[in-house]
Structure 1
Amino acid sequence: MTKASPLATILRPLHPRDPNEHHRVATPLELLFDLVSVIAIASAAAGLHHAIAENHAAQGVMTFIMAFFAIWWAWMNFTWFSSAYDNDDVVYRLLTMVLMGGSLTIAAGIPALFTEAPDFTLVIYGYAVMRIAMIILWLRAAYHDPGCRPTALGYAIGIFLVQLLWLSFLFLQPLTFGVSYILWALAVVLELAVPAVAERLTANTPWHRHHIVERYGLLNIIVLGETLLAGSTALRQFAGEVNIMLVHTALSALVIVFSLWWVYFAREEQLGSHHLRRSLLWGYGHFFIFTSGAAVGAGFAALVDIITHHSEVSILVGDYAVAIPVAIYLASLWFVRDRYVCIGPARFTLAVFAVLTLLAPAIGLGLEGIAATTALGVIVRNLFAGRAYLASPTSHPGH
């Protein structure tokens, strides 16, 4: 057997992966990338938590969404690329680590966004680092995959052009919130358009369906971890005596995060096809699942501040800081999955319970009512889905 040259491990051709490869799972490098991403997510969630506690919820929510989009979009672009082209050579690993460095820079810059005069400098620099690395990766793919060359070049050119708009933030500072929202919205629309246009130039990139579903599931676990952290924070606030409200908060956090995990990892197929429109809707729609999942943790953290008298806002505000993201999570999961894969009453259950979750604080049920409604929604949805599954075992929903 001839030994491979050292150069072969440093720089291998970036050939497309087999989209039907058996036993394709997340790599250690991808898991490390997720670990870095969670630092940025935690930073954004902390900013939202403090904004709610300081009675600046509206501004805090918008800033949180802006910050989270940068984190999520960079994560998503890398995830779909790696699913199609990960060759694990040294250059690929180094470029991925450059992406991680950009993510850490974004995390460092997020606190500066949650100020009266937001400073976008570090976030834009970090995002630019991540996008430049992605451009290089797409150019490598264009060179080594002639079949998808127009698509890969479309990605590289599109990312470059939109990045110019992001860089304009640096030259226009200081920005008012109104101007920053308008520029951000324009840049987001253009970012979302890049994959939609590029994937239509030739054959779709050869991403692996089961691999993508696993990667999204792993990130969902990470964002739900923010709620577990908030529950732990509630228990740490005891100062010599048990505060029953903090106990209720911690227990409610557990019930809600377990329920959100359970309903996401149901038996139904998350993404049943490679069809471009369905894939884009599922992939993009997860922004609301991930954002709301992280926001639930911020809401619980704000509730702890309210209960321990570190915030002047009302307990009702804290309850809605939890209820609203929980409702968005359930409604988003219904939108991207259940309305496609479920039949009968299960098809609409999450949408109905999303509305009921919003009503719980208004009718005086409080945090415990939110937790109970969420758990009941998961139970009812899975009972209906299970009955449909047993009634037609040869036509499993989602297949």
Structure 2
Amino acid sequence: MPVRMRARRTDEAHRASTPLELFFDLCFVVGIAQAGRQLVHALAEGHPGHGISGYLMLFFAIWLAWMNFSWFASAYDTDDTLYRITTLVQIAGVLILAAGVPRAFEESQFTVVWFGYLVMRLAMVTQWLRAAHGCRGEERRTELRYAGGVVLCQAGWLGLLFAPERGRPWVFLVMAVAELCVPVFAERHRATAWHPHHIAERYGLFTIIVLGETISAATVAVQSALDEHDELGALLPIAAGGLLLVFAAYWIYFAVPIHLHLRSSRQAFVWGYGHYVVFGSAAAIGAGIEVAVEQSVGASHLTVLAASACVTVPAALFLFSVWLLHSRHQKRGRAQQLVLPLAAVAVLGCTFAGTYAVFASGLVCAAAVATGVALTSRQGAALSV
């Protein structure tokens, strides 16, 4: 029997991600992989404008659906039969969306993507209405505002189906702003009861999944290139540099306990929204490595400089966005604060390193990690004296 859905305590002990949440995250990899694959094709064929804009739009849809569920679950997860079934319906929606990604990229046909999004969002509306059913007062109004906001935004996304192709980016921008305003509107009088440690863990786990997809995509690209072209000498620096990039990205993201910073909804919303850049750039690193591999074996129309930028630009964005949202809140002193911003600038400079751009970027990120560890150890030793 379904239980009454009540808000969970924000100070609940041992609040950890559930197996259902982990399964939910894993299924989102399909959508991320599809978006990344289409980005690779567009970049390798010399269509960066089309590829980047399409990637940003589709990744936003995937990220927003994941984020909506994660924050709701942090506040209202009951883990009963009805909750599980509704969550599985959301998973089915993201799989439908993923199936429509190639057609959206290649033909600008968003019908399948919109329908998959509809399935996800209707399931989310059902969750909010169920939460409102057992509440009163301002808490109930908050939950009803969420349900109504999601419905209105989903209707607004119909503009992607009917607007002329040139007008679709503007429809996306308007609707993206509207989506981000829903929590601000819904929680203007009462915030939902999200759990800081649980939210930090959920974002951390999704970061691991995105980085895992990056490793998988890069590995397949290197393997395919070896099988078809046998260019081991050209591929080794890319493979080594890509591995260093991903290892450094993992280290940098998990170097600080961010849940200690999430003390208010305003702080949490800025941090949570900003992860669109963190997640998107992390996934784009894998796509960039694939492009660099294709360029190195002559299977791309890009120059060496352009292929290098496909790796260095998202890597620099990742470093800077993690510092801005995440790391700087735990850094003490100018030296610690400057490590990641300077590393981001240095990675951009690696764009001009020719065929060794990826390897040079990996070395820069590894050096940033080593510098951060050394500064932290020195500061800790100074504090202990």
**Is 1:238 aligned to 2:226, yes or no?**
yes
Letter of the aligned partner of 2:74 in structure 1? Answer: S
Give the match for residue 224 of structure 1.
211
CA distance in 1, matches of 2:230, 2:315: 30
Secondary structure of the residue that 1:375 maps to in structure 2? helix
Give the match for residue 179 of structure 1.
167
Query: Superposed, which structure 2 residues align to 1:233-382 within 5 Å?
Result: 233=220, 234-239=222-227, 241=230, 243-344=232-333, 345-362=335-352, 364=354, 366-382=357-373
1:309-340 superposed Cα distances (whole Å, 9 cap, x missing partner): 22121122111100000000001001102232
Larger mean CA deviation between 147-156 and 50-59 belongs to 147-156
CA distance in 1, matches of 2:168, 2:314: 24
- Structure 1 residues 109 and 271: CA distance shift in structure 2, 3 A: farther
**Is 1:196 aligned to 2:154, yes or no?**
no
- Give the Å deviation of 1:393: 6.5
Letter of the aligned partner of 1:44 in structure 2? Answer: A
Letter of the aligned partner of 2:330 in structure 1? Answer: V
**Is 1:162 aligned to 2:133, yes or no?**
no
Secondary structure of the residue that 2:158 maps to in structure 1? helix
Q: Is the Cα contact below 8 Å between 1:271 and 1:279 reproduced in 2?
A: no
Secondary structure of the residue that 1:161 maps to in structure 2? helix
- Give the Å deviation of 1:237: 2.7
Q: What is the TM-score of this pair, normalised by structure 1?
A: 0.91
Query: Superposed, which structure 2 residues align to 1:113-128 within 5 Å?
Result: 113-115=104-106, 117-128=107-118
- Give the Å deviation of 1:363: 5.1
Larger mean CA deviation between 162-171 and 215-224 belongs to 162-171
Q: What is the TM-score of this pair, normalised by structure 2?
A: 0.94
Give the match for residue 4 of structure 1.
none
Larger mean CA deviation between 299-308 and 41-50 belongs to 299-308
Give the match for residue 397 of structure 1.
none
How many residues are treated as equivalent by the alignment?
Answer: 380
CA distance in 2, matches of 1:150, 1:388: 48
- Structure 1 residues 302 and 363: CA distance shift in structure 2, 3 A: closer
- Give the Å deviation of 1:392: 4.0
Q: Is the Cα contact below 8 Å between 1:230 and 1:253 reproduced in 2?
A: no
- Give the Å deviation of 1:343: 1.2
Q: Which runs of 4+ in 1 moved over 6 A?
A: none
- Structure 1 residues 380 and 81: CA distance shift in structure 2, 3 A: same
Secondary structure of the residue that 2:258 maps to in structure 1? coil
Q: Is the Cα contact below 8 Å between 1:150 and 1:201 reproduced in 2?
A: no
Unaligned runs of 5+ in 2: none
- Structure 1 residues 261 and 156: CA distance shift in structure 2, 3 A: same
Q: Is the Cα contact below 8 Å between 2:129 and 2:143 reproduced in 1?
A: yes
The structure whose residues are more often helix, as a share, is: 2
- Give the Å deviation of 1:230: 3.2
Query: Superposed, which structure 2 residues align to 1:118-157 within 5 Å?
Result: 118-146=108-136, 148-157=139-148
Give the root-mean-square deviation of aligned CA atoms.
1.8
Give the match for residue 200 of structure 2.
213
Q: Is the Cα contact below 8 Å between 1:326 and 1:354 reproduced in 2?
A: yes
CA distance in 2, matches of 1:271, 1:164: 37
- Give the Å deviation of 1:227: 2.3
Q: Percent identity?
A: 39
The structure 1 residue matched to 2:50, chosen from 48, 54, 59, is 59
